[in-house]
Structure 1
Amino acid sequence: MIGMLFNDKECRELDYVLRKELDEMLLDLNDKRMDGDIRRAIASRYRVVFRMYARIASPKELSRYAVNMKTTKP
């Protein structure tokens, strides 16, 4: 495991970047035109980014991005 120290401004920026990335991936996962292999790759990446976001977000904020991955599979 790697540890990192961030100041307050950097934490806010990381929070913003992760939220925007999760939003983009949710849009892609809901796009029915996407190929199954691409959707699986995005879903895998979504799990990784979601776990990163879970370390800094409050439960209320986190619940916005919690999705049932069974419903987002092709």
Structure 2
Amino acid sequence: MNGLFQISLEQKELISLMYMADDDKITDRSIIVRKIDDIHIHAYCLKRQQIRKFKRSNILAAGKAPQRRKAYA
């Protein structure tokens, strides 16, 4: 999983997370990593549209986000 976060940091790749908040609610998040430290992943969260801190221990799953398709009119 660390390699995935590093790629997002370096290449601004979008990642999908399954995350458990401190109140035990499980949410899906799409993020772009900004900083990595021992305890947190600091990332731009598309759902909240702001920089958020995600505890590494609360990340249940992570993977590359599916590519968005361009709409043609």
Bigger strand share: 2
Q: Which has the higher contact order (CA 8 A, sep 6+)?
A: 1
- Normalising by the smaller structure, the TM-score range is under 0.3
What TM-score do you get using the length of structure 1 for normalisation?
0.23
* TM-score normalized with structure 2 length: 0.23
